[in-house]
């Protein structure tokens, strides 16, 4: 017991490294499947491929518990608002994979109802070709996202978020001051008019009693 207590039980690292390490090994995909690419994605959960090897087996069907949106299949203009809403509800930070020719460029469906690529609706991080795409290609896309995560800086993102929050706070403070100033001027004018009215009323009453003692 004494020997174990004397051994080193801590390590030093950078916050960016430890945060990115946790993020890249726990990417939770949200599959938005509309065609055959979704069937290929299902294969990634089977034993020959096993998506859990990269910590992404926890497929969620709610955007609030996901951070990777995998769009698989044809997207029509009628579906576009739904896809955009799902993207907006994803947990931050978030990434998008366009899986297959249909999601990437509209595929063979060159018609009025098909979106020619989901990048017309939402930003895309990784494109996967093929019709349909193979499960191996989806793994490659996840590896690319892992590289993106490794290159990110949590502290820089935090600095940007704090900067945006500070600017928003300043804007709201300025707006509140302006509204308060306008309200104060309006209230002062109202009180001034009320005082003038009371003054005129008092003068009229005094003149009345003076003429009618």
The tens digit of pLDDT for each residue in 93-102 reads: 888 988 888 8
d(CA 164, CA 65): 24
Identify the pLDDT of residue 164: 86
Closest listed residue to residue 122, CA positions, set 96, 143, 155: 96
**Residue 73: what pLDDT?**
84
Beta strand spans in 49-139 (E) = 68-72, 95-99, 126-128
Instruction: Determine the pLDDT at residue 163.
Output: 86
Cα–Cα distance, 46 to 41 (Å, whole number): 10
* pLDDT score at 136: 84
Determine the Cα–Cα distance for residues 55 and 82; give it in Å rounded to an integer.
28
Gap between the Cα atoms of 209 and 202, Å rounded:
11
Q: Is 210 exposed, middle or buried (0-12, 13-18, 19+ CB in 10 A)?
A: exposed
**Locus of tokens 């390490």:** 21
Question: Which pLDDT does position 2 carry in this prediction?
Answer: 55
Buried/exposed code over 89-117 (b: 16+ C-beta within 10 A; e: otherwise): ebeeebbbbbbbbbbbbbbebeeeebbeb
**Which residues in the chain land under pLDDT 50?**
1
Do the Cβ atoms of 150 and 24 come closer than 8 Å? yes
Please compute Rg for the chain using Cα positions: 31
What pLDDT is attached to residue 6?
66
Contact 68, 30 (CB under 8 A): yes
DSSP assignment letter at 182? H
Task: Report pLDDT for 143.
Answer: 86
Question: Residue 155 has which token pair?
Answer: 């502290």
What CA–CA distance (Å, rounded) separates 111 from 118?
15
């Amino acid at each position: 017991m004494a020997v174990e207590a004397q051994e080193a039980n801590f390590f030093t690292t950078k916050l960016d490294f430890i945060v990115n390490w946790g993020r890249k090994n726990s990417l939770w995909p949200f599959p938005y499947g509309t065609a055959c690419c979704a069937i290929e994605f299902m294969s990634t959960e089977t034993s020959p491929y096993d998506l859990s090897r990269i910590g992404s087996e926890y497929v969620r069907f709610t955007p609030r518990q996901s951070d990777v949106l995998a769009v698989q299949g044809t997207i029509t203009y009628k579906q576009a608002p739904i896809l955009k809403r799902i993207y907006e509800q994803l947990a931050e930070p978030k990434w998008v994979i366009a899986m297959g020719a249909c999601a990437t460029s509209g595929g063979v469906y060159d018609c009025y109802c098909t979106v020619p690529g989901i990048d017309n609706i939402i930003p895309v991080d990784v494109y996967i070709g093929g019709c349909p795409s193979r499960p191996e290609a989806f793994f490659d896309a996840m590896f690319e996202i892992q590289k993106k995560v490794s290159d990110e800086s949590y502290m820089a993102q935090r600095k940007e978020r704090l900067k945006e929050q500070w600017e928003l706070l300043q804007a709201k403070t300025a707006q509140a001051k302006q509204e308060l100033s306008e309200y104060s001027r309006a209230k002062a004018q109202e009180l001034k008019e009320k005082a003038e009215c009371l003054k005129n009323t008092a003068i009229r009453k005094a003149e009345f009693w003076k003429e009618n003692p």
